[in-house]
Copies of this chain bind each other. A is one copy, B any other.
Amino acid sequence: MVTNSAPDLSVRIGSLTLKNPVMPASGTIAEGMTQVIDMGRLGAIVLKTITPDLRQGTLPPRVAEYRDATLFSIGIPSKGPDYLLEHTLPAYAACDAPLVASVSADTAEDFGKLAAYISDPRIAAIEANISCPNLKADGRAFGMDPEATREVLERMVAATRIPVWAKLTPNVGDITVFARVAEEAGCEAVIVGNAILGMAVDAEAMRPRLGNVMGGLTGPAVKPILLRMVHQCAKAVQIPVIGCGGITGGEDAVEYMLAGATAVQVGTANFIRPHTMTEAVDWIADYCTRHGLSAAREITGALRPLHAPATAPTETV
């Protein structure tokens, strides 16, 4: 398998072929990024979630730092679908990468309608962000209930010919249940996954640190949890799993791929090191070369068993 030519980084996500497995996580890039890095080098460009209506998002302060992680409570400040079609898509027209929209809504019906409304040839796939509250279920997130998840995803798949990807929430017991629902509903991929619900308290001030009290925990601290979920889901479904959570570079991306991911999404790291994604693409190419792999897709699921020696002491020679 050792090869001298540059490794093939392309990966297939359902009916799409991406030139490499690295893309941003929804809500963590915007047009500003095009002023810092060449977004055309990415496997895809995932846009921020939009809702059918205009939304303000949550009360500030919206971010708190905690060790190697952040808590964000942004809500989904949304400018609506027309803004997406008229302003956001053109803003990336010059970037040589497929655009992935992300949608959310208050009801399963509205998820379907929104998917239909934005079914535009400039959009290569639509992510379903099901971490948001279901108005018909007392605000419990769609993504925490398999049946609500199924209804949302089936409606979206029925409403559009654009491939639908399901972005799962990690705030569940057994995530494989949800991955299977997505597969059955006809999604072409699952993203595993969104932020983990957390909270931060200022002991001296005796107050929460976020205006919204709770927020999504993101960044390196969550990687071991999401890596485990990716591993579980990759064994549970045939459709590609896209890993997301705490990726800070190519090495993290490869860990997700070894655990079973076909591609990865980078979130919070974009805020700190804007070149994370493009550098990860280069790192993966180098990894393939070092490990004698001719294609990045060979990394997916290539985790070998840890042949724990009968006694574990290291041969310290």
Q: A144-B174, A174-B144, A197-B228 are in contact. Are A67 and B206 (CB under 8 A)?
A: no
Q: A173-B144, A174-B144, A201-B227 are in contact. Are A206 and B303 (CB under 8 A)?
A: yes
Q: Which of A75-83, A157-165, A304-312 contacts B (4 or more CB under 8 A)?
A: A304-312
Residues facing B in A180-215 (CB within 8 A) are 196-201, 203, 206-211, 213-214
**Pairwise interchain contact B206-A304, C-beta atoms closer than 8 A:** yes
Q: Does A291 count as interface, using CB distance less than 8 angstroms?
A: yes
Closest residue on chain B to residue A254 by CB atoms: B203
Closest residue on chain B to residue A58 by CB atoms: B308
Q: Does A71 count as interface, using CB distance less than 8 angstroms?
A: yes
- Number of this chain's copies in the assembly equals 2
Mark contacts of A286-312 with chain B using CB atoms, 8 A cut-off: 1 yes-contact digit, 0 otherwise.
010001000000000011111010001
- Hey, which chain B residues are within 8 Å of A71, CB to CB? 224
**Pairwise interchain contact A224-B198, C-beta atoms closer than 8 A:** yes
Among B203, B209, B221, contact of A68 (Cβ-Cβ < 8 Å): B221
Mark contacts of A44-65 with chain B using CB atoms, 8 A cut-off: 1 yes-contact digit, 0 otherwise.
0000000000000001110000
**Pairwise interchain contact A227-B200, C-beta atoms closer than 8 A:** yes
**Pairwise interchain contact A66-B211, C-beta atoms closer than 8 A:** no
**Pairwise interchain contact B203-A258, C-beta atoms closer than 8 A:** yes
Cα of A224 to Cα of B68 in the assembled complex, Å: 12
Q: A225-B217, A287-B203 are in contact. Are A306 and B208 (CB under 8 A)?
A: yes
Q: Does A91 count as interface, using CB distance less than 8 angstroms?
A: no
Cα of A144 to Cα of B173 in the assembled complex, Å: 6
**Pairwise interchain contact B199-A259, C-beta atoms closer than 8 A:** yes
Number of chain A residues whose Cβ lies closer than 8 Å to a Cβ of chain B: 53
**Pairwise interchain contact B173-A196, C-beta atoms closer than 8 A:** no
Cα of A211 to Cα of B310 in the assembled complex, Å: 11
Cα of A258 to Cα of B200 in the assembled complex, Å: 11
Residues facing B in A246-265 (CB within 8 A) are 251, 254-255, 258-259
Mark contacts of A95-132 with chain B using CB atoms, 8 A cut-off: 1 yes-contact digit, 0 otherwise.
00000000000000000000000000000000000000
**Pairwise interchain contact B203-A255, C-beta atoms closer than 8 A:** yes
Could you jot down 23 A-B contacts, CB within 8 Å?
A60-B312, A61-B306, A67-B67, A67-B220, A67-B221, A68-B68, A68-B221, A171-B173, A172-B172, A199-B224, A199-B227, A199-B228, A200-B224, A200-B227, A201-B258, A201-B303, A206-B302, A207-B305, A208-B305, A211-B306, A213-B231, A221-B221, A221-B222
Top 10 nearest A-B pairs by Cβ distance?
A198-B224, A199-B228, A221-B221, A201-B255, A60-B312, A211-B308, A203-B254, A172-B173, A144-B173, A207-B306
Q: A59-B308, A208-B303 are in contact. List 15 more A-B contacts (CB 8 A).
A: A61-B306, A66-B224, A67-B68, A69-B221, A144-B173, A171-B173, A172-B172, A198-B224, A199-B259, A200-B227, A203-B254, A207-B303, A211-B306, A214-B228, A221-B221
